[in-house]
Every structure is written in C-alpha cells, then in structure tokens.
Chain A
Amino acid sequence: MQVMTANTFAPPPSDAELIRDCQCGKPDAFRELYRRHQKSVRAMLQHLCDPAMLEDLVQEVFIKAWKGLPKMRGTAQFSTWLYRIAWNVGADYRRKMAQQRQRTQQQEMMYDLADNAPHALLHLHHQDIVSRGLQHISPDHAIVIILHDLQDMPQADIAEILKIPTGTVKSRLFHARQTLRQFFHQEGISL
C-alpha cells in the first residue's frame, strides 16, 4: 500500500503566496512565478515586437516585475499587473522603433495563391497575413485584439490592464476588427 504523505498532495502555492515569499527576498518563488506566466507574456509581446527582441523584452518585463514586487498592492492580481508591465515594455519598444525607423516605402506584397496550393503553404500565408495585420493596426488596437480575441481575456480585465473604461475597450475592439477586416480584404481574404 502506498503511503501518502501530506506533502504529496500539497496544493501548489498561489500567486499571492509566491509574491509574499518574493517580498521576503526569496528568488526561488519568483522563478516559479516566471514559469507560470512567461508563456502568456511571450504570447502577448511577440505581436508587439521584433521576434529577435522577444527574449530580451520578456526578460525586461520580469526584471521590472521583480523590482516592482515590494511595492505591489496585495489586492492587485499578479497576472493583470504583469500584463500591464508587459504592455508598457512593448509600447515603449514600439515607440523607440518608430522613432528609429526610417520611413521606407512599404512594399505591397500581393500573394496570389491558387486555390489548389498545398494546405501547409496556405496556412503559412495566412499566418503571415495575420502577423502583418496585427502590425498594421495601431498598438492600442492590437493589444485589445491580442488579449481579447487571441487570449480570451474578459473585457473588464483588459480595461484594468490598460487603465481605460470598459466602453473604450469595446470601442477599440470594434474599430480594430473593422480595420483588420479591411486589411484582410485587401489581402484577398473576405471574412
């Protein structure tokens, strides 16, 4: 018969408990928080930055989170707070890039794939269109699409992350979808 100790089925510590440990200066607790949330942060930032910069930006987000943990209010949800930091880092990055980037004529790439193109190629083509579509719309609109439509986050949480009213989230979502739909239409996809 298998002996089950209490530790075997001890539930994993909650985010709040890990945060308390971090505030007491335990980096291992922060390692656990990183493991839990790094994928969401990565998924959000990949649409806002150059893929080559993704690792650095994710690291910047978590270093900022570590520095900010002692000041973190107990009432705030860690994931919301972390998303807020990630959004700030991503927006800063885009602002910097926009300042540095020289204005170049955007090359219009018209893909004219035949209906009988291999499925994998078509999928890659669509991925490229989605990626360019998210780059095409403004960051304010892109983040709402990413969080709501791709990550299935409730509008109230998005409002809290972006510090805007829920009505503004709805409005941005509406306009972002409209712009995306127009972009896809130009690319030959009618949705």
Chain B
Amino acid sequence: MTQLTPHSSDPADELKQSDGGDHDANLITFLRQHAPPVPEVSIDAEARLMAAIAQQETTTKPSRTPRSRLMIAAGCSVFVYALWQLFQVMMPPRQPVGELAELENFWFQNWDGVANAENNSPFLSENDSSTDAVPGQAQKSINHPPSP
C-alpha cells in the first residue's frame, strides 16, 4: 500500500489544514495533483455556440430592452388609470352619510302620512271639489276591502 504524504506550499491548503486537519490536507493535495486535466476546448466550439445563439435569435422573439420594458410599464399604468376613471364615471354618485340619514328620518316621519293617504290626502278630501263631480267614485277607488 502506498503511503502518500504530499506537502504543498499553497496557502489555500493551509486554510484547509486548519479546517479539517492534516488528514484532509493530504487528500486535497492528492486530488489537486492528480485531478484529470481539463480537456482542451475544440477550435470551433465558440463558433458553434455563437451560431446556435444566432439561430435562437431568429427563431425566438428579440429580448426586451429596459427601454421597451419601461414603455410597457407606462402603458399598463395609463390603462389602469383610464379604467379607474371610467369606473368613477359609471358609478352613481354616493350621497353623503348625513344626507342619507336625513332622508331616512324624513321617510320615517312621513310614513304614516303615506300609508293612510285616504285620510290625509288633500286631493281626496270630502271638501275637494274634484270629487264632487262624481261622488262616491273616488271614495270607491281608495276604499280598502272590508276586513274579515
């Protein structure tokens, strides 16, 4: 069995020595010394890559530049703003809360008058001259059916 105790002056190895001890440093040095060399790049590799990229360019749409992205973002903002404006126009205006409360109060106060219109209506009173012409007709139209 071969006992290998390589020594290296590489500062990185010293760091590893402190990290994992001599045990690891020996292993790392052995790996570095005997790692298979990186194969040489073939002469036409770069040309083939650039040709492949050029082919990609023709088949796919061109990538967006920052300027076009900005324009798209601005267009989207304008579109959203226009939509919001349209929404505002289409929606009926809202009454203020105070006004609504006042209206509700008015309805409550006058509800009896609306429900019992037969008694209160100035148009259907007995003294009303418009009902005098055909007595009983107006009276009939507003009479409720007899309660059982």
A54 to B2: give the CA distance in the assembly, Å: 32
Binding site for A on B (CB under 8 A): 1-4, 12, 16, 20, 23-24, 26-28, 30-36, 38-39, 41-42, 45-46, 48-50, 52-54, 56-57, 62-66
**B34 partner residues in chain A, CB cutoff 8 A:** 123, 126-127, 129-130
Of A21-29, A78-86, A157-165, the one touching chain B: A21-29
The answer to whether A126 touches B39, judged by C-beta atoms less than 8 angstroms apart, is no
A51 and B27 contacting across the interface, CB-CB below 8 Å: no
Of A27, A123, A177, A190, which contacts B50 at CB under 8 A? Answer: A27
Taking the closest CB of chain A, its distance from the CB of B134, in whole angstroms, is 87
Selected interface stretch from A9-17, A30-38, A87-95, A96-104: A30-38
Q: How far is the CB of A74 from chain B (nearest CB, A)?
A: 11
With contacts A34-B46, A126-B30 taken as known, whether A189 is within 8 angstroms of B38 at the C-beta atoms is no
Please tell me the size bucket of the interface on A. 35 or more
A58-B45, A189-B30 given; 7 more Cβ-contact pairs under 8 Å: A24-B66, A27-B54, A27-B57, A145-B31, A150-B35, A184-B30, A190-B4
- Min CB distance, B41 to chain A, in Å? 6
26 interchain pairs (CB within 8 A)?
A23-B65, A23-B66, A24-B66, A25-B62, A25-B63, A34-B49, A38-B41, A42-B41, A58-B41, A62-B49, A63-B49, A63-B56, A66-B56, A67-B56, A127-B35, A129-B34, A130-B31, A130-B36, A145-B31, A149-B16, A149-B27, A150-B35, A177-B24, A189-B2, A191-B4, A191-B26
Complex: chain B residue closest to A67, CB-CB: B56
A140 contacts B by Cβ under 8 Å: no
CA distance A23 to B63 in the complex (A): 7
Q: Let me know if A131 is at the binding interface, CB within 8 A.
A: yes
The verdict on A31 contacting B36 (CB below 8 Å), with A70-B64, A189-B4, A191-B26 known, is: no
- What 3 pairs between A and B have smallest CB-CB spacing? A126-B34, A70-B63, A43-B38
Q: Is the interface of A mostly helix, strand, loop or mixed?
A: helix
Residue A39, interface by CB 8 Å: yes
Residues of B within 8 Å of A190, CB to CB, are 1-4
In the assembled complex, the CB of B10 is this many whole angstroms from the nearest CB of chain A, namely 9
B26 CB contacts on chain A under 8 angstroms? 191
Q: Does A166 contact B (CB under 8 A)?
A: no
Please state if A150 and B31 are interface contacts (CB–CB under 8 Å).
Answer: yes
Q: Does A172 contact B (CB under 8 A)?
A: no
Q: How far is the CB of B35 from chain A (nearest CB, A)?
A: 5
Does the CB pair A39–B49 fall under 8 Å? no
In the complex the two chains form, what is the Cα distance from A130 to B29 in whole Å?
A: 12
Known: A23-B66, A27-B53, A181-B27. A35 touches B46 (CB 8 A): yes
Let me know if A46 and B24 touch, CB within 8 A.
Answer: no
